[in-house]
Structure formats: C-alpha cells, structure tokens
Amino acid sequence: MENVWKIYEFGKVELTVLKDISLEIAPGAFVVILGPSGSGKSTMLHMVGCLDLPTRGKIFLDNRDISQMSEDELAKNRGQKIGFIFQQFNLLPNLSALENVMMPMIFQGKSEEERRNRATSLLNSLGLKERILHRPTELSGGEQQRIAIARALSNNPEIIVADEPTGNLDSTTGKKIMEILIGLHKNEGKTIVVVTHDPNIANYSDQVVNIKDGQLVLNHFAQEKVLWGE
C-alpha cells in the first residue's frame, strides 16, 4: 500500500476512513492490524484483500497495481490468491459444511470430484470429519469458524485475510482458531493478515500494525513488540 486514502461521499458530506496509509506485507508474514472499533482497520483489510479500491494512492499485489486491473482480473486474483475469514462466518445456511467449502472452487472451474475431495480433506484436517453433512445451524460457533477456514483454504490461496476471526467465540475456542492460523503460517508458509481490536491477538504475530482514526500510529516487528490496549 502506497499513500492510500479511502474517502466515502454521502451527498455533500465526505467521510475519510483511511489517511495516507503506507504498508508493506512480506510473503509468508503473519501480520496483525490492531485498533479500536471505527479506526478503519476493516476498511484497510478490504484494501489488502482487493475487495475495495483506494480513493487515492496505490495498492500492489505481486507488483501489479490493483486499480489497473479489470473487475474480472480482480475477481480472479481474489479467488486464486486470497482466502477470507469473517467474524460472522458468512456460511450459506442451506448448504452443508461440505457444500460450503466446495462453493469457491466452482468459480475456479474445478470438477465436482476435485471439489468434493479437496473439501473433505480440509474438513477432516480441521477435525470436522463427523460434521461434513451438517448445516451451519447445527454446529457450534467454533465449528462454523473452522468450516469458514476450510472454505478460505479451498483454492489453496497464498494469503489468508481474517476480520475479527475470534470476535464471536469464547476465549478457549478463539485460541484454537488462532492456533490453526499459526499452523497455516508455520507449516504451509501462508501469509496471514488478521484484523482485531484484541491486543492479545498480537502475541501470535510477526508484525503488528496499530491503526487509529484511519492513520498508522505504530508498525513494528516481533523482536521489538510492545502490547498496548485501546
């Protein structure tokens, strides 16, 4: 991200959410974007995940400016390179766990056999072997979030972006979810970017970015880490 601004216009009123943000995320890093509610951290994550474009400034993914990509190119990059995990899980309620995980692979042209085998393998690896035919309403919050992680991994992306992934979970379940993300980082070399308001999550990261009122106020690495509250 180079000098990124995000400004929303509501009639004659302008709302500046991000102000001159510059940030580099290295391949294979585990980055936590930390800030209170309303600080602009989720908007920043949407930029990192190519879900939104900046009003001013540039965002590069693999040395390509995403604002120069067509909508089809952006969608292709999101589908192939980036996996998303959300606080609200965002699972499709009428589909089983297996079908939810298979869904993103449809858009990448995978055969049904490929989709089913990949989804089954991912759910088994996350301890959900007995839950693959259950619908989200039949599962606990922790189980739903593990399904969401499996779905994020379905196309084997290089980058996982997670928006408050433990926000709707109790502390024990939240810790298990963070351990899964650490495993993906350490064992598979995934780049992990987590947005949170919880300073304890910073303990898991290589790099902590503190955002307040749409501006970066701290950006530091594990060896110089200091935790702070809101």
Task: Average pLDDT across each block of 10 residues of the chain; the chain has 230 residues. List them in order.
Answer: 95 94 94 92 91 94 90 88 91 96 92 95 94 95 94 94 90 91 93 92 90 89 47
Task: Give the per-residue pLDDT at 228.
Answer: 37
Task: Give the per-residue pLDDT at 107.
Answer: 86
**Could you give the CA distance from residue 181 to residue 165 in angstroms, rounded to a whole number?**
10
Work out the burial of residue 225: count CB atoms within 10 Å of its CB; fewer than 13 is exposed, 13-18 middle, 19 or more buried.
Answer: middle
- Residues 43 and 66: beta-carbon distance below 8 Å: no
Task: Give the per-residue pLDDT at 227.
Answer: 42
**What b/e sequence results for 44-55 when a residue is b if at least 16 CB atoms lie within 10 Å of its CB, and e otherwise?**
bbbbbbbebbbe
Task: Give the per-residue pLDDT at 151.
Answer: 95
**Could you give the CA distance from residue 8 to residue 29 in angstroms, rounded to a whole number?**
30
Task: Give the per-residue pLDDT at 218.
Answer: 79
- Residues 219 and 1: beta-carbon distance below 8 Å: no
* Residue 10 domain flag: yes
CA nearest to 86, candidates 138, 120, 125, 136: 136
Residue whose tokens read 């955002």: 211
* Residue 98 domain flag: no
- Residues 12 and 67: beta-carbon distance below 8 Å: no
Q: Phi/psi zone of residue 94: left (φ > 0), alpha (ψ -120 to 50 degrees), beta? A: alpha
* Residue 24 domain flag: yes
pTM of the model: 0.88
* Residue 22 domain flag: yes
Task: Give the per-residue pLDDT at 200.
Answer: 87
* Residue 103 domain flag: no
- Residues 92 and 103: beta-carbon distance below 8 Å: yes
The number of domains in the chain is 1
Task: Give the per-residue pLDDT at 226.
Answer: 42
* Residue 124 domain flag: no
**Could you give the CA distance from residue 220 to residue 150 in angstroms, rounded to a whole number?**
30
Task: Give the per-residue pLDDT at 229.
Answer: 38
Task: Give the per-residue pLDDT at 60.
Answer: 95
* Residue 116 domain flag: no
| DSSP-derived secondary structure letter, 27 | T
- Residues 161 and 45: beta-carbon distance below 8 Å: yes
Which domain covers residue 78, as residue numbers?
Answer: 2-91+156-224
| Partners of 30 in the β-ladder | 192
- Residues 222 and 31: beta-carbon distance below 8 Å: no
* Residue 168 domain flag: yes
Report the CATH number at residue 49.
3.40.50.300
